[in-house]
Amino acid sequence: MNKLLERLIEKNKYLVQYGQVADYIPKLKSANPEDIGICLLDMDGNMYCSGVYNKKFTIQSISKVITLMLALVDNGEEKVFSKVGLESTDEPFNSLYKLDLSLENKPANPMINSGAIIVTSMIKGNHEEKFNKILEAIRKITNNNTIDYNREVYESEKETGDRNRAIAYLLKNKGLLEGDVEEVLDVYFKQCSIELDLIDLAKIGLFLANGCRTLDGGYQGCNIEIATILIAVMTTCGMYDFSGEFAARVGIPSKSGVSGGILSVVPNKYGIGVYGPALDKHGNSIAGFGILKDLSEKLGLNIFKICKRN
């Protein structure tokens, strides 16, 4: 397996020249566009990693999967999905124009910023408790108490987050967001700034693949029904406005973030973390897509694949 992962990195590393590191949050600009890494964990506890896998990066939008889990546990499906839809969208992640259309009564899904900010607001507790719940969940899933948020990235997000601010105030105006807008945004900026490495990310993948349960059974974050919803939402909405094509070409439920991380889940089998900060025009790791596509083919991981019959 290690050899295979090494080969896939070698094969796909040329792609980084066609990508760009995110620069709309100034602190993200310092990432090395040449970095590529992957970690894969299986249900027997085996870990296979290759490339740049122990460098820390911020989780960014991948945090939206964890906040959705917590909001669903705290409020139940009916309440959460009365405020945010379950439909994919071809809008970019930070789009806000639809929020001002009178026909639209809720954001399309919890993976675009408008939906994710509502989801964060629905986690029970004041803003400090909300963030602590998110951080605690990630620490328990990864069994890594050293995980924290990166203060510089958080400050940078906060300083330049006017688009998210505009989204949140519109949501408040539409009655979709409860509580203090600035406090909810503060939690959102912090959750995006949580820093981890690929081993941690693969552990989150394995936790989801195992129905929101750590392998040792020490932490059960949600029930199997919620785990299924999380994986379905990743499949339909996890790769920005490339989610449909990603599903068709790779077929592995995944969620990416603008710092170049991709969290991938092969239900009942593997948790996978991929890192490559050079992004394509949709905001997904450009080499990460290539690696996952090849890995899916090599190991037959496409969940939509039909088996040949005689």
Question: Binding residue for ligand GLU (CB under 6 A) from 57, 93, 154, 246?
Answer: 93
Instruction: Enter the tokens of residue 208.
Output: 């989801």
Q: What is the number of residues in the chain?
A: 310
- 11 annotated active-site: no
Instruction: Enter the tokens of residue 164.
Output: 């998210």
- 258 annotated active-site: yes
Least distance (Å) between residue 43 CB and ligand GLU = 28
Can you tell me the distance from the alpha carbon of 145 to that of 125, in angstroms, rounded to the nearest whole number? 21
Does residue 67 bind ligand GLU (CB under 6 A)?
A: no
- 158 annotated active-site: no
Strand boundaries in 53-140, DSSP class E: 57-58
95-134 positions binding ligand GLU, by CB under 6 A: 113
CB nearer to ligand GLU: give 8 or 28: 28
Tell me the helix, strand and coil percentages in the chain, rounded to 5: 50, 10, 35
Instruction: Enter the tokens of residue 192.
Output: 């995006």
- 188 annotated active-site: yes
* Amino acid letter, residue 90: D
What are the phi and psi torsion angles at 214 (to 5°)?
Answer: -70, 155
Q: Of the residues 50, 61, 193, 254, which is catalytic?
A: 61
Least distance (Å) between residue 115 CB and ligand GLU = 12
Least distance (Å) between residue 153 CB and ligand GLU = 9
- What binding mask, one character per residue, do residues 128-167 give for ligand GLU by CB under 6 A, x or -? -----------------------------x------x---
* Upper half-sphere CA count for residue 58 (Cβ side, 13 Å): 27
CB nearer to ligand GLU: give 28 or 122: 28
Question: Binding residue for ligand GLU (CB under 6 A) from 257, 260, 271, 276?
Answer: 257
- 308 annotated active-site: no
Give just the sign of the alpha carbon dihedral 251, 252, 255, 256.
negative
* Number of amino acids touching ligand GLU (CB under 6 A): 11
Beta-carbon contacts of residue 300 (< 8 Å; ≥ 6 apart): none
Least distance (Å) between residue 252 CB and ligand GLU = 19
Closest CA to 230 of 39, 81, 66: 66
Does residue 258 bind ligand GLU (CB under 6 A)?
A: yes
74 by DSSP, 3-state: which? helix
Closest CA to 244 of 47, 34, 87, 31: 87
Q: Of the residues 149, 188, 270, 275, which is catalytic?
A: 188
Can you tell me the distance from the alpha carbon of 162 to that of 25, in angstroms, rounded to the nearest whole number? 11
179-238 positions binding ligand GLU, by CB under 6 A: 192
Least distance (Å) between residue 231 CB and ligand GLU = 19
Question: Binding residue for ligand GLU (CB under 6 A) from 67, 88, 94, 235?
Answer: 94
Binding site for ligand GLU (CB under 6 A): 60-61, 93-94, 113, 157, 164, 192, 257-258, 283
- Catalytic residue numbers read 61, 64, 188, 240, 258
